[in-house]
Amino acid sequence: MSYFTEIYHGVKTLLTGMRVTGRYFITSGKSAITQQYPDNRASLKMFDRFRGEVVMLHDENNEHSCTGCQKCELACPNGSIEIIWDRGVDPETGKKKKFIDKHIYHLGMCTQCGLCVQACPSNAIVWAQKFRKTRSTTEPS
């Protein structure tokens, strides 16, 4: 008897699958997710989750919250992040402290894996949507 229940179950699941794709087929005309990129350059709005580049957030005083902890540098599997730091004396407490000199991000090596963003304890780096790094000479920068 389980033979027939198996057949019934099999056919039912196949039909469920076909219903899902069938709905896509009928409704996908306008809602296709393809972006015809250079044509819609003016109106293109990338998705929130899109990973274009890693940027360091700056607030209105042009300050960032990076502490120079180097966790992102360690997390990056291919060494795309380089942190150049220095030791100095904190003017407030008079203690020795690590200062971040430079946070260098090599876009050309980055694989957009997102590990650095996850690793950062102070949420100093986030994803930005910009993906086009060039411009033609006729465009304003």
Partner 1 sequence: MLTSSLLFIPSLHDFLFSLLPPGLAKGAEMVLVGIIYLTIFAVAGLFLVLLERKVAARFQLRLGPNRVGYGGSMQTLADALKLLSKELTGTVRADKFLFNLAPYFVIITALMALAVLPFSQSMQVFDINIGLFFLIALSSVGVIGILLAGWGSNNKYAMIGAMRSGVQTISYELSVGLSLVTMVLLAGSLQLSQIVEVQKSGWLIVQGHIPALIAFMIFMIAGTAETNRAPFDLVEAESELGAGFHTEYSGMKFAYFFLAEFINMFIIAAIAVIVFFGAWLSPFGITESLPWLGVFWFLGKTFLVVLLMMWFRWTFPRLRVDQLLTLEWKYLLPLNLANLVLMAVTVWLNLTIQF
Q: How far is the CB of 5 from partner 1 (least distance, A)?
A: 13
DSSP 123-138: --EEEE--------TT
Based on the shown chain and the rule CB under 6 A, indicate whether residue 97 belongs to the binding site for ligand SF4: no
Q: Which of 96, 106, 98, 47 is nearest to 72 (CA)?
A: 106
Residue 40 interacts, among ligand SF4, partner 1, none and using kind-specific CB cut-offs from 5 to 8 Å, with: none
Based on the shown chain and the rule CB under 6 A, indicate whether residue 70 belongs to the binding site for ligand SF4: yes
- Cα distances (angstroms) measured from residue 139 to each of 4, 35, 69, 134, 135: 67, 21, 39, 10, 7
Binding residues for partner 1 (CB under 8 A) = 7, 14, 17-18, 20-22, 24-25, 28-29, 31-34, 36
What is the token pair recorded at 5?
A: 């229940």
Whole-number CA gyration radius for the chain: 25
Which is nearer to ligand SF4, 44 or 113 (by Cβ)?
Answer: 113
Given 52, 55, 98, 113, the residue binding ligand SF4 (CB under 6 A): 113
Q: Which of residues 39-68 bind ligand SF4 (CB under 6 A)?
A: 54, 66-68
